[in-house]
Structure formats: structure tokens, C-alpha cells
Amino acid sequence: MRPEPPYSHGQAAHMGIVWVNLGSPDAPTPSALRRYLARFLADPRVVELPRALWWPILHGIILNVRPRKSAAKYATIWTPEGSPLKVWTERQAKLLQGLLGERGHRVQVRWAMRYGQPAVGAALDTLKAAGCTRILVLPAYPQYCAATTASAFDEVYAWASGLRWVPELRFVNQYHDDAGYIGALAARVRAHWAQHGRPERLVMSFHGMPARTLQRGDPYHCQCHKTGRLLAEALELPPEQAVVTFQSRFGKAQWLQPYTEPTLVALAQQGVRRVDVVCPGFTADCIETLEEIDQEARAAFLGAGGQAFHYIPCLNDDIGWVRALADIAERHLAGWPTKQETDPAASAASRERALALGAPR
């Protein structure tokens, strides 16, 4: 077990939140991508194949071919501050910390990446070192999926397994149908339409997963469709104008359908002139939205005869989204003493209530 700081009787309890996203390479280079992909694709939650079958493919082929191609794609979206996913995730954590503070909560928020830096364990170490005895694990994935949500939880469990004094832990499994989240998505789309007009189709593209995950009981597919339905209803879109698709297919196995890019090509070939694409499953823009959708899918639609393609950015640091996120956090923090009374009169009244109920002085 890792060494613990000396325990001090009577030390004040603190609460923390770790805001977990998927991850990103440290740089848009083949060597950085090789390190990132080696960890990402080695996760048995991500690739559900026997090691004896998968390991030769991963280390003999994929890690020798894919890093250079992926690095070139990352280079097209890289910012002076680094990976967009890391930039937005860090900003979201800071905004969440600030908004919870404005609401009177004494909660420390740290952000982490399941694959990459800062690591989940490092963020949790920081919270524990700061005296946090209660920690809420809040994934950046609205829809529950074993390959994302459960994998993040695995990392937390692994961290806790090396501790003598494990903090009290809570986990947020999903918020795919949360009213605030849906409202923030709808407001994002409406703001785009107010500036650019409305499309003939709104395509809601979610990250894909192998079809067998649905057959094995993963709720991800159903939760994506529910998010899509609720968003379409909030936007008052008729069913024929709203399309749910799945992107990022990898390998030759069947994945959740319909696939995003072939759907866009088919729409263009059917005479649809303009599509808008939004990615509700991503709370921060990243390689899958900025390169795969706004570059590759755009080129496919226009190349098939479409006339106008609009990508609607992710929620990122939208204040409506941060408020919704703070609401989600507050609900899951319920019962923990996150607020401190500073008004002497209120504190005295609280003591009187406690005495009236028979609580010890």
C-alpha cells in the first residue's frame, strides 16, 4: 500500500470532484500517438478480444502503422495551448469549480484523462492530499458505455486498491436525459440557426461502438437514441428532419448503425442540399469532432453533391452547459456537508435546532 499522511483526529472533512475525460496524446507526433494508442487500445474495456489474439495485431501492425496517420490528423486541429480536448476539459473544470463556489459549496474540482495526462490517479492523489475524504467521480460522457464510463471507474478502483484509507466515493453513471444537458444542447443548436438559418436535416452523430456491445447488454445505443429524441423534441423538429448516426468505426466488425459518413453521402445523393451536424455525446471538441466530422465528413458530403455543411461545435465552455453540469454535481453531492455557514446568526440557529432535536453539544 502507498504511504498515507499521518492521521489527525478532528481534521476537517473536505469534498472533491474529479472531472474525467477520455484522453489525448501529449503532442501531434508519431511517438506521442504511439504511447497514447498503446495504452488506449490495450484497455480490455475498449477492445473486447482475447489478449492472445489482439496483442499481435496491436503491437505487430496497428502501433507500427496508425501513429503516423493519427499524428497528421491531430496536427490539423492542434492549438497553441495543446490538444483541444485538454484545453476544453481543463476550462470546464475551472468553470465548474467557480460556479459551485458561487453557490456556496466548498468543493475542490480536478480534471483528469483516462489515457494521458493528468492521469486519474494523479488527480485523485491531489484531492486526497488536500484532505478530501469524499470524492465524486464525474465522467464527461453523458451516455453510459462500458468502454468509456466503466473504464474510467476501473481506473478509480485501481487507485483505491493501493490505499489504506479509501475516501468515500460516488460515481455519476450517466446524464443522457438530464433536462439541463438537453436544454444546453438545444440552445447551442438554436444559436447556430439564429445566425446561419436552418438546415434540411440535423444529423446527431455519436461515437460508434461494436454492435455486439448492444447485444451484450450495454445501454449506450439506447441512451444515444434517447438523447437524440429529446433534443429533436426540444428543437420541435419533425422525425424526418432529425437523424441519429454513429461515427468512428474501427476494424471490419459490424458497429452500431447507421454510420455517419455513409448517411451523409446518401443524403447528398438524395438531393439534400444542406445538413447541420452536432455531436451530443462529446461535451468537448476533439479529434472526432474537429477532424473526423468537420473535415472528413464535410468533404464526403460536399463531394457527393451536397451544397452546404455546417458543424455545430460541442458544448465546450458554454455557460448554460456549465450550469447544467453544476446542477448534476449538486444532485450527486447531496447529503455531503459541502456548504459552510458563515452567518453567526445562522450558525446559532443551527445549534439551537440541533439542541432541540437532542443532538449533543
The average pLDDT across 45-54 equals 95
* Mean pLDDT on 114-131: 96
Binding residue numbers: 207, 288
Residue 95 carries which side chain, given as an amino acid letter?
Answer: L
Confirm whether 70 is domain-assigned: no
| pLDDT-based confidence at residue 355 (cuts at 50, 70, 90) | very low
Distance CA 295, CA 288 (A): 10
Residues 159, 201, single domain; the answer is: no
Indicate if 283 and 323 belong to the same structural domain. no
Tell me if 339 is assigned to some domain.
no
Residue 229 binned pLDDT confidence (cut-offs 50, 70, 90): very high
Residues 151 and 201 in one domain: no
For the four alpha carbons of 33, 69, 301 and 260, in that order, the dihedral sign comes to negative
Q: Is the pLDDT of residue 10 over 70?
A: no
Whole-angstrom distance, CA of residue 207 vs CA of residue 184: 19
How many Å apart are CA 109 and CA 95, to the nearest integer?
Answer: 9
Together in a domain, 209 and 305:
yes
User: Model pTM?
Assistant: 0.91
Residue 350: predicted pLDDT: 42
Average pLDDT over residues 60-64: 96
Taking 50 as the threshold, does the pLDDT of residue 22 lie above it?
yes
For residue 143, the model assigns a pLDDT of 98
Look-up of cell digits 437523424: 243
Give the pLDDT of residue 340.
67
Kindly tell me if the per-residue pLDDT of 173 is higher than 60. yes
Is 231 domain-assigned? yes
20 and 149 in a single domain? The answer is yes
Q: Where are the beta strands (DSSP E) in 212-292?
A: 242-247, 274-278
- Residues annotated within the binding site for Fe(2+) are 207, 288
Number of domains in the chain: 2
Question: Is residue 199 domain-shared with residue 303, that is, in the same domain?
Answer: yes
18 and 161 both lie in a single domain:
yes
Asked if pLDDT for residue 360 goes beyond 50, the answer is: no
Inside any domain, residue 257: yes
CB 115 within 8 A of CB 23: yes
201 and 266: one domain?
yes
Please name which of 155, 131, 222 lies closest in space to residue 21, comparing C-alpha atoms: 155
Does 63 fall in a domain? no
Q: Look at residue 294 and tell me if it is in a domain.
A: yes
pLDDT in tens, 300-349: 999 999 999 999 999 999 999 999 999 999 999 999 999 865 544 544 44
CATH number of the domain encompassing residue 220: 3.40.50.1400
Query: Within this chain, do residues 188 and 138 fall inside the same structural domain, yes or no?
Result: no
Residue 165 lies in a domain: yes
User: Both 151 and 244 in a single domain?
Assistant: no
Cβ neighbors of 146 (< 8 A, separation 6 or more) are 45, 213, 218, 220
Among the listed residues 100, 104, 103, the one whose alpha carbon sits nearest the alpha carbon of residue 138 = 100
Structural domain of 198: 179-312
| Least confident stretch, 130-144, 188-202, 241-255, 332-346 | 332-346
| 188 and 110 in a common domain | no
Residues 206 and 263 in one domain: yes
Mean pLDDT of 152-177: 97
Task: Find the mean pLDDT for residues 55-73.
Answer: 97
* Sequence-ordered alpha helix ranges (H) in 255-360: 260-269, 287, 298-303, 319-333, 344-356
Q: Is residue 41 part of a domain?
A: no
At residue 252, the pLDDT reads 82
Q: What is the mean pLDDT of the chain?
A: 93
For residue 182, pLDDT beyond 50: yes
The residues with which 135 forms a beta bridge, in sequence order, are 16, 169
